[in-house]
Amino acid sequence: MTGKVLLAHGDDAYSIDRAVAAFAVQVGATDRVVLTPDHAPDEALLTRAALEAASVGLFEAHCVVVRQPLRAAGTSGSAADRLLALVEQLPDGAALALAELRPSRDVGRPPALLKRLEAAVKSVGGRVEPCLAPRRDELRGWVTRHAAELEIAIRPAAAAALAERIGGVWENDVERSEQTRVADGELRKLALAADDRPIEVADVDSLVSDTRPPSVNAVANAVERRDPTRAAEALRRALAEGEPALRIIAALEARLVDLTVARDLLTSGASAAEMTKRLRPGNPSGAERVTGAARRYTADELEQMLRGLFEADLAIKANTAEPEAAVTAWLGEYVLGAVKSGPVKG
């Protein structure tokens, strides 16, 4: 008999916790010893994990859970070796679960140690379980599937409304680690309120708070889509959550520069290949998106918007304008006010 190992990693904290709980049941563990590093590296924790795993058979069966194992290893080569040895030298009959919660912004760029840890787990016959938080186009499906799992009836429109309220946003700069846990809690609350009938959109509207995460990119994306209502709402949300105005301005400047370049390329009759090369090298679909957005504005509109943004930036840095007031005034003048002519052609 060999030790049993699980590596659950990703940006979905709720799914990671469920994977660990299911693993403990699978291996027949009657209790869990949960270890979380206090600092990085934390070799003492890894040593204790090895000792706890080796105690199998001396006491009742248990599962050793190491949270944030990459933090325990830190940047120390010896701690990384100790972490890998913990997996590779796990005693017969022991059970070890490694739970690594990653920031959503980094989940697509796994560090080298995580790849080595995956290989070590697989080499001893363990299981690697990616736990990725659903994005906007996936969250509604997750809500529907989870409701079915809980035997909760919910209308499709209500599932969509719930997904939107708790974080169904397109942007990639938001943290999604708790979204499915929030969805689980809201579903249970809605089910109690609905009693034995299906959950309706009206239930979601009356009982679920809007907890969509703030996003700097949401402001820029709404401006790109020429959607002033969503731009204003995204800006309000970002500022309310403490996003620095200068960071918002930087995101807007970068987006407007992209749109200006794309507008110039359109005017010059550049080919699709040239568009891709200049705008999004190696990413034709991304270049097509930027080009399509640029068609919504004239070159003069983009120039005025960019100039106004530079002026707001300078005013903030010269302490002649309050940051929030400056970016709000820019949005009011160039998006809510002056830019009203609608999509343009050419």
pLDDT at 344 over 60: no
Mean pLDDT over the full length of the chain: 88
Q: Which is higher by pLDDT, 209 or 5?
A: 5
- Span 127-138, pLDDT tens digits: 999 999 997 678
Q: How confident is the model at residue 58 (pLDDT cuts 50, 70, 90)?
A: low
154/122 Cα distance (integer angstroms):
39
pTM value surpassing 0.85? no
CATH of domain 4-130: 3.40.50.300
- Span 137-158, pLDDT tens digits: 788 999 999 999 999 999 999 9
Q: Which is higher by pLDDT, 108 or 58?
A: 108
**Who's near 148: CB < 8 A, 6+ residues apart?**
none
* pLDDT value of residue 313: 92
Q: Do 234 and 215 meet the contact criterion of CB atoms below 8 Å apart?
A: yes
* pLDDT value of residue 80: 95
Backbone angles phi, psi at 160, to 5 degrees: -65, -40
pLDDT at 171 over 80: no
pLDDT at 346 over 50: no
Tell me the residue type at 86. Answer: L
Nearest to 102 by CA among 89, 86, 118: 118
- Domain range list for the chain: 4-130, 136-207, 216-337
- Report the sign of the C-alpha dihedral through residues 297, 303, 304, 305, in that order: positive
CATH of the domain spanning 216-337, picked from 3.30.750.24, 3.30.70.100, 1.20.272.10, 3.30.930.10: 1.20.272.10
| Domain range 136-207, CATH architecture | Orthogonal Bundle (1.10)
- Span 16-53, pLDDT tens digits: 999 999 999 998 887 889 999 999 999 999 999 999 98
